[in-house]
Amino acid sequence: AAARQAEALDPAGIVAQAQSMCDTFGFRSIKLKGGALEPEIEVESIRALHRAFGEDVPLRLDPNAIWTVDTAIKYGKELEGILEYYEDPTRGQEGMARVRQAV
């Protein structure tokens, strides 16, 4: 399958697709659009991407404001030092402010 058509529903599949996209299209950073899988799977996928690509490839995570504030804080803390940026982890300005204060 073409790079963008490969199945990417678990950490291994996400890493394989990212590697294919970087090789095929020359991408130098990776953004995981989240909110589709369980948060644990998405966070493990970011960790797997970090292991596979190392420090030279910036990683970005966008859970599409679907996570609760508590979930966003928990995983934001766990991913400190790994993510270049953490986009819209939860809904609303108040929720985002709480995440920002905690992470």
Q: Give one DSSP letter per residue of 25-43, joined into a string.
A: H---SEEEE-SSS-HHHHH
Distance CA 103, CA 101 (A): 6
Distance CA 40, CA 100 (A): 20
Domain ranges of the chain: 31-102
Distance CA 41, CA 34 (A): 10
What are the pLDDT tens digits along the chain (103 aa)? 555 566 788 999 999 999 999 999 999 999 999 989 999 999 999 999 999 999 999 999 999 999 999 999 999 999 999 999 999 999 999 999 999 999 9
The model's pTM is 0.90
